[in-house]
Chains A and B, each alone.
Chain A
Amino acid sequence: MSILVNKDTKVIVQGFTGKEGTFHAEQCIAYGTKIVGGVTPGKGGQEHLGQPVFNTVEEAVRATGATVSMIFVPPAFVSDAVMEAADAGISLAVIITEGAPVKDMMFAKAYAVKKDMMTIGPNCPGIITADECKIGIMPGFIFKKGNIGLISKSGTLTYESANQVVKEGFGITTAVGIGGDPIIGLSYKQLLPMFEADPETHAIVMIGEIGGDLEIQAAAYIKEHITKPVVAFIAGQTAPAGKRMGHAGAIISGGAGTAAEKMAALEAAGVKVVVSPADIGKAIAEVMGKLKK
């Protein structure tokens, strides 16, 4: 078991034949992901990485039965690609592209909701179910199979946390990089119940950062609905107000969105909050009741 994706998930790639799309699709295939084709308008009928290329997402879905699309198209064309996927009946779009205009994503997400399509990202490392399916750009070898679910706004902090969890003798069910943009798709509040319902997941790591209030909403949700232990880290405790810390969404504005308020809310919800990201693995060991000395 896992959440959202597994070894049977059929995936197409939008922006399949581009440099990024090619490189990462190849890595995903090597990991074992069922990449069943891709879309590059104008290159329909060709073959790429041993898989068929289609002109439209609709054709690709019809021919392959894919339910998930991994999107690598350039920022200016992302919203178009997301809407095309939604229109073609894709059920989950994983948007890797960095730098998409916020307004475009606003329209794309509104359309996706209308068409009942889930999205992850943009500007994210993607989603991985250990040893089964990798849809994104994360280094697969870090994610050893185990019983910890992981949700993170940051790519490299996802790798850092997974690595620590593995070093403590545990492993990952599914890890989801939800992205650090102001507008993102699936977030803590939607993913937490999925992990709660997944019998294989025993505990959850949640990595947040300054800006917005998704973590605060997650805290409220955890308090009411999550029975599994949750370990959390919020990046940006030392970030100055009003400055954008790399991620477009990572900004403390008007005194709101600070790490301190998020940490307090999570702690009040019974979450084990670590102050240093170096302690994520240890905290998991602790909540899993087998702290190694």
Chain B
Amino acid sequence: MNIHEYQAKELFKKYNVPTLRGHIAFTPDEAVKAAQELGGNIWVVKAQIHAGGRGLGGGVKLAKSTSEVREMAAQILGMQLVTHQTGPEGKLVQKVYIEEGADIKKEYYLGLLLDRALKMPIMMASTEGGMAIEEVAHNTPEKIIKVSIDPLTGFQSFHGRKLAFGLGLPVEEINTFIKFASALYKVYMDHDAEMIEINPLVKTGDGKFLALDAKMGFDNNALYRQSQVNEMRDLSEEEPTEIEAGKFGLSYIKLDGDVGCMVNGAGLAMGTMDTINYEGGKPANFLDVGGSASAETVAKGFEIILKDPNVKAIFVNIFGGIVRCDRVANGIIEATKITNVNVPVIVRLDGTNAIEAAEILNNAGIANIVAATDLADGARKAVAAAKGE
């Protein structure tokens, strides 16, 4: 789960990670009011969406008067902001963050994330603030300094020193930086974050460090104990069908092809998409129905897949392990009674009781259900059906 910049900064403030003052606004009027409350003569109007690259897309603007604040807020609010992370359709901006201006002397990058191989958090810093860290890693990897932090002992001053000296900070600024980094580590651990990115981290004219931007993502498995983070969840930033699927224990992601798929297990679900692609088709979705594949979940799966008007055929690929294929076959038949399935359904059931399952499906005599013998056969038939062959 991700949160907005202004929400991440709220968490930062509680842990004394320095940020600028700012207010959230849903209308141009509120934006002006926010600017007046902040005072000063320069403000930044920032679109709040769950995607990076907002500045380049025209979602972050500098205002030098309250009338400019109004003008820019009016421009940004309601726009479909397109960045390299939103896809071509962009994301609707529903709120802007009005922030006071800052005296920026230098920009850096600071991030915290999990190193899966080391099984511990790593903190990364770079002098190349404001640039996409992936690009820096690719073009000038020597400009990224990394420290791994043993969770059993936590963040130590030497971690901070290594980063600070690596960034070439003067000695008198080292302790300020260590304090900042140490507080940030605490934010990360205390909230079950999976990633924090501050890009840019800025140094001001008076030698202070500030999080000018803030991006945070969280471990979904830990949300049950993070009530504060949970309250920050913005459902309007998520796909409605994915939310709906989640309520039924289904894991669904919409894609742009025309062959719907329903599979048990995440790995096999991805593998099924890949097989459809290999056979010359395009998957319309990722859908893991989980272990049980009962009539109810299968019916819900059909319903969710068919909400996508592009779907021309559905490939049901179930490898029955503990779950018996005959029960799944009955589930599919039941499901077609609950949900009106008006496209060809190619069914491949393998594993426990697969032979009985094939019989059940054949005997049911449902016109648009086609049996497949294995993964490749199923994918081929589904691709052909989607093409109207």
Task: List chain A positions with a Cβ less than 8 A from chain B.
Answer: 27, 75-76, 99-107, 109-111, 114, 125, 137-139, 141-142, 152-160, 163, 180, 182-183, 207, 209-210, 212-214, 217, 233, 235-240, 242-250, 254-256, 259, 275-279
Expressed in whole angstroms, the minimum distance between the Cβ of B9 and any Cβ of chain A is 22
Using a CB-CB cutoff of 8 Å, which residues 112-154 of chain B contact chain A? 114, 116-117, 119-121, 132-134, 137, 150-152
Q: Does B350 contact A (CB under 8 A)?
A: yes
Please name 24 pairs of A and B residues whose Cβ atoms are closer than 8 Å in the assembled complex, sorted by A.
A102-B222, A103-B189, A106-B120, A106-B121, A156-B263, A157-B265, A159-B319, A160-B271, A160-B350, A214-B117, A235-B267, A235-B270, A237-B273, A238-B274, A238-B276, A238-B277, A240-B253, A243-B286, A250-B270, A254-B134, A259-B274, A275-B274, A277-B275, A278-B379
Residue B278, interface by CB 8 Å: yes
For the residues of B in contact with A, the DSSP-based class is mixed
Docked-complex contact A246 and B286, CB < 8 angstroms: yes
Q: How far is the CB of A279 from chain B (nearest CB, A)?
A: 8
B330-355 CB contacts (< 8 Å) to partner A:
350-352
Report the Cα distance A214→B321, complex, angstroms. Answer: 27
Nearest-CB distance from B208 to chain A (Å)? 29
Residue in chain A with minimal CB distance to B256 = A240
Contacts of A76 in B (CB 8 A): 224-225
Q: Residues of B contacting A142 with CB < 8 Å?
A: 321, 351
Contacts A102-B192, A102-B222 hold; do A245 and B253 have CB atoms under 8 A apart? yes
Distance of A156 Cα from B279 Cα, bound (Å): 21
Shortest Cβ distance from residue B11 to the other chain A in the assembled complex, whole angstroms: 16
Question: Is B7 positioned at the interface, with any CB of A under 8 Å from its CB?
Answer: no
Among residues of B, the one whose C-beta sits closest to the C-beta of A241 is B85
Contact B273 A183 (CB under 8 A): no
How distant is A33 from chain B, measured CB to nearest CB, in Å? 15
Question: What residue in chain B is nearest A249 (Cβ atoms)?
Answer: B116
Question: B275, A276: Cβ atoms under 8 Å?
Answer: yes
| Cα distance A245–B320 in the bound complex, in angstroms | 21
Task: Verify B134–A156 contact, CB threshold 8 A.
Answer: no
Contacting pair A278 B321 (CB below 8 A): no
With CB as the reference atom, state the residue of chain A lying closest to B263. Answer: A156
Asked if A247 and B319 sit within 8 Å, CB to CB, the answer is no
Report whether A247 and B273 are in contact in the complex, using a CB–CB cutoff of 8 Å: no
Which residue from chain B places its CB closest to the CB of A122 in the assembled complex? B221
Q: Nearest Cβ distance between residue B164 and chain A, in whole angstroms?
A: 24
Q: How far is the CA of A275 from the CA of B376 in the complex (A)?
A: 12
Cross-chain contact A237 with B277 (CB below 8 angstroms):
yes
- Would you call B119 and A209 a contact (CB within 8 A)? no
Cross-chain pair count, CB within 8 angstroms? 182
Q: In this complex, what residue of B is CB-closest to A141?
A: B352
A139-B322, A246-B286, A255-B134 are known contacts. Are A180 and B266 too (CB-CB below 8 A)? yes
Q: Measured between C-beta atoms, what is the minimum distance from B70 to chain A in Å? A: 34
From residue A141, how far is it (CB to closest CB) to chain B in Å? 8
Contact A139:B321 (CB < 8 A) given known A106-B119, A183-B114: yes
Nearest residue in B to A246 (C-beta to C-beta)?
B266
B113 to nearest A CB, angstroms?
9
List B contacts of A249 (CB < 8 A). Answer: 116
- B contact residues, total (Cβ < 8 Å): 58
| Besides A160-B375, A279-B376, 18 new A-B residue pairs in contact (Cβ under 8 A), listed by A number | A76-B224, A106-B120, A110-B120, A154-B267, A154-B271, A157-B268, A158-B267, A163-B351, A180-B267, A182-B116, A213-B117, A214-B117, A235-B274, A248-B219, A248-B221, A250-B266, A276-B279, A277-B271
A257 to B, closest residue via Cβ:
B116
Considering the chains assembled together, what is the distance between the CA atoms of A212 and B194 in angstroms? Answer: 13
Nearest CB of chain A from residue B273's CB, rounded to whole Å: 4
Q: Are B267 and A152 in contact (CB under 8 A)?
A: yes
The verdict on B200 contacting chain A, using a C-beta distance below 8 Å, is no
A235 to B221 alpha-carbon distance, docked (Å)? 22
Of all chain A residues, the one with the shortest Cβ separation from B273 is A238
Instruction: Tell me which of B134, B192, B266 contacts A245 (CB under 8 A).
Output: B266
**Is B288 interfacial (CB-CB < 8 Å)?**
yes
Q: Is B269 an interface residue (CB 8 A)?
A: yes
The chain A residue sitting closest to B323, CB to CB, is A139
| B319 contacts A160, C-beta separation under 8 Å | yes
Is B264 interfacial (CB 8 A cutoff)? Answer: yes
Residues in B whose Cβ lies below 8 Å from that of A240:
253, 255
Residue in A closest to B352 when the chains form the complex, CB atoms: A139
In B275-306, which residues have CB < 8 Å from any A CB?
275-279, 282-283, 286, 288
Contacts of B253 in A (CB 8 A): 240, 243, 245
Q: List chain B residues, Cβ under 8 A from A256.
A: 134
Contacts of A104 in B (CB 8 A): 222
Interface residue B374 (Cβ < 8 Å from any Cβ of A): yes
Query: Which residue of chain B lies nearest to A163 when distances are taken between CB atoms in the complex?
Result: B350
Chain B: minimal CB distance from A220 (Å): 12
Residue B220 interfacial (CB < 8 Å): yes
Minimum CB–CB distance for B295 against chain A, Å: 20
Scoring A27, A207, A210, A277 by chain B CB atoms within 10 A of each residue's CB, the highest score goes to A277
Of B120, B121, B152, B265, the contact of A154 (CB 8 Å cutoff): B265
Contacts of B134 in A (CB 8 A): 254-256
Interface pair A157/B271, CB less than 8 Å apart = yes
Please determine whether B116 and A163 come into contact, CB atoms closer than 8 angstroms.
no
Chain A residue with the shortest CB-CB distance to B321: A139
In whole angstroms, what is the CA distance A263 to B227 when docked?
40
The answer for the CA separation of A235 and B288 in the assembled complex, in Å, is 14
Is B251 located at the chain interface by the 8 A CB criterion?
yes
- The reply to whether B119 and A100 contact each other, CB–CB distance below 8 Å, is no
A138, B265: Cα distance in complex, Å? 12
B197 to A: closest C-beta gap in Å:
10
Interfacial chain B residues near A160, Cβ < 8 Å: 268, 271, 319, 350, 375
